[in-house]
Amino acid sequence: MRAGLNSTFRSLQVPNYRLFAGGQLVKLIGVWMMFTAQDWLVLELSDNSPGALGTVTALQFVPVMLLTLWSGRLADRYDKRKLLIAANAAFAVFAVAFAVLVASGVVQLWHVFVFALLLGIANAVETPVRQAFVSELVELRLLPNALALSAATFNTARISGPALAGVLLAVLSTPGVFLISTALAIAPVFTYVRMRPADLIRTERKKGASARVIDGLRYVGKRHDLLLPICLMAAIGMIGFNFPVTLAALAKINFNAGPSSFGLLTTALAIGSLGGALAGTRRRSRPGAYKVIGAALIFGGCEFAVGFAPNFVVAALLLVPTGFFSIYLAQGANHRVQMGVDPEYRGRVMALYVLVFLGTTPIGASLAGWWGEHYGVPSSIWAAGLVSFAAAVGALIWQLRASSERIEVRVRPRLSVRLVPAPAESAAEIDPGEAPRLAVRSEPSLPGVRGHAEPLNRPEPVARV
């Protein structure tokens, strides 16, 4: 058991990564407390309007849409640690000002909109830089584990933050929650300052390299293995990941729940998400395209089911597997992009990933709020699940056509589904940087033998499931 724990948490043996993870955990607990209290505050100030919730969420992510690619350029040109200190300090200043305004009792709905935008600007700079910075904290062999633990940290905060906020909303009221969450949000400023720059694993920048945004876009455009997960997460991130809008409205409007019960719904989603994050901590290699697509298909089906939940308890239960596959999908796509990109392009490519995953939220959140206001909150959830499932089907077709593989279903002698590689002469190239795998080969000359696996020593089409 100790060996399993050591394997799961092996990145924490790196001092700089321990500081990074600790600071993120404390900050994110505060951020999730703040966002939970903010959603409840918006409903109170707007007379239970899903549209107002959608507007706040959209304003938080508009800066991501506008500034993220520029932030990725900064990450490829300048010291990421110093950029993160500045971005987190700005976030802390905005959070303190917002908390003081709420505690004073004079806050109005437009104030919430303004601070949502300001906090979004700080996040738009911080997020892609932080995504790229993880690769400087640990060696390449530890990168999958470090990324998975970062997702686990995020979801641990997403469990404890809303749950703690739900209790404190009932005990201390909204201003008290804002003050506590603000104090926690300052933590990363100190942890980044305490890191040892000499221990960071940095790639030497080429002299005269301009790190242009357009070069990063062209790089991705030539890489099908990067383009597919980025496009898939663009669709699902925009439509399927709007739980901050839909869950608050579902709890208060459809289930007539109080703030603590609303926190439980978010916590149920986060418990599943934490499981999905921990499931990837033992990953040592780049995940295959079909694993990412499979997680997307299951996530779409789970979200579709949540939209038809008849009561609060059923919705909470369904949110657990929904949360699991939402993070298993997002983490798999992130790993596939991070572990397949050249270091000199990592900042710009991860900025593009953040842009399509989070930057499309203003569109999706506004649409979810509008749809929920006109056609009901449950329908906005099951429709999002349906769109996510359709996007996954589209990605599957795209991958099969690009790799010239096909899905073969056999009923006799027993039901089986397998991927059949294309003939060698029509094979697509193996993804750059992909580790050697096992090739599944058909052997029609051997009666009764369906196939066998043997080491792949030369470029041939491989179905990675």
Question: What mean pLDDT comes out for the span 180-195?
Answer: 88
Q: Which residue has the higher pLDDT, 251 or 203?
A: 251
Q: What one-character DSSP code corresponds to residue 355?
A: I
What confidence tier does 302 reach under pLDDT thresholds 50, 70, 90? very high
Residue 425: count of CB within 10 angstroms of its CB: 6
pLDDT number for residue 336: 87
At 407, is the secondary structure helix, strand, or coil? strand
Tell me the C-alpha distance between 444 and 253, whole Å. Answer: 60
What backbone torsions phi and psi does residue 409 show, to the nearest 5 degrees? -115, 125
Q: Which of 94-103, 131-140, 197-206 bottoms out in mean pLDDT, i.e. has the lowest?
A: 197-206
**Average pLDDT score over residue span 385-413:** 85
| Residues 15-57 pLDDT 10s | 999 999 889 888 988 888 888 888 878 888 888 777 787 788 7
Specify the pTM: 0.67
Q: Pick the range with the lowest mean pLDDT from 66-70, 281-285, 363-367, 395-399.
A: 281-285
440 has which bridge partners?
A: 453
Tens digit of pLDDT for each residue in 329-383?
988 888 888 878 887 787 788 878 877 877 676 777 778 878 877 888 888 889 9
Q: How confident is the model at residue 462 (pLDDT cuts 50, 70, 90)?
A: very low
The rounded distance, in Å, linking the Cα atoms of 275 and 278 is: 5
Name the CA radius of gyration of the chain, rounded.
Answer: 23
Q: Is the pLDDT of residue 85 over 90?
A: yes
d(CA 285, CA 274): 20
pLDDT (average), residues 379-401: 92
Residue linked to tokens 């300090």: 89
3-state secondary structure of 438: strand
Q: Which residues contact 386 (CB under 8 A, 6 or more apart)?
A: 300, 304
Question: pLDDT at residue 261 above 60?
Answer: yes
- Categorize the per-residue pLDDT at 448 as very low, low, confident or very high, splitting at 50, 70 and 90: very low
Asked if residue 175 has pLDDT above 60, the reply is yes
Please determine, for residue 124, whether its predicted confidence score (pLDDT) is greater than 70.
yes
User: What's the whole-number mean pLDDT along residues 135-162?
Assistant: 77
Those residues with Cβ within 8 angstroms of residue 74's Cβ, 6 or more apart along the chain or in another chain: 83, 125, 129, 347
Predicted pLDDT of residue 386: 94
The secondary structure of residue 448, as a DSSP letter, is: T
Tell whether the model's pLDDT for residue 459 goes beyond 50: no
Comparing 322 with 403, which gets the higher pLDDT? 322
Q: How many CB atoms lie within 10 A of CB 204?
A: 7
pLDDT band at 294 (very low <50, low <70, confident <90, very high): very high
| Three-class secondary structure of residue 179 per DSSP | helix
Is residue 362 within 8 A of residue 61, CB to CB? The reply is: yes
For the chain, what is the mean pLDDT? 78
Mapping DSSP to helix (H, G, I), strand (E, B) and coil, where does residue 454 land? Answer: strand
Position 388 scores a pLDDT of 94
Residue 438's pLDDT band, with cuts at 50, 70 and 90, is: very low
| CA gap 358, 369 in Å, rounded | 17
Cα–Cα nearest to 427, from 397, 461, 402: 461
| Cα–Cα distance for residue pair 461/456, rounded to 1 Å | 10
Q: What are the residues whose beta carbons fall under 8 Å from the beta carbon of 417, sequence distance 6 or more?
A: 407, 408, 409, 410
Q: What is the mean predicted confidence (pLDDT) over 210-235?
A: 84
Distance CA 446, CA 357 (A): 47
The predicted model gives 402-427 an average pLDDT of: 66
- Would you state the torsion angle of the CA atoms of residues 219, 199, 123, 153, taken in this order, to the nearest 10 degrees? 100
Amino acid sitting at position 229: P
Band the pLDDT of 429: cuts 50, 70, 90: very low
**Residues 349/337, Cβ–Cβ less than 8 Å:** yes
pLDDT in the model for residue 7: 66
pLDDT for the residue numbered 255: 80
Q: What is the mean pLDDT of residues 222-247?
A: 86
- Looking at per-residue pLDDT, the higher value among 448 and 134 belongs to 134
First-to-final CA distance of the chain: 28
Cβ 353 vs Cβ 292: under 8 Å: no
- C-beta atoms surrounding 49 within 10 Å: 18
Q: What is the structure's pLDDT at 19?
A: 92
Q: Which of 6-20, 31-45, 207-221, 392-406 has the lowest mean pLDDT?
A: 207-221
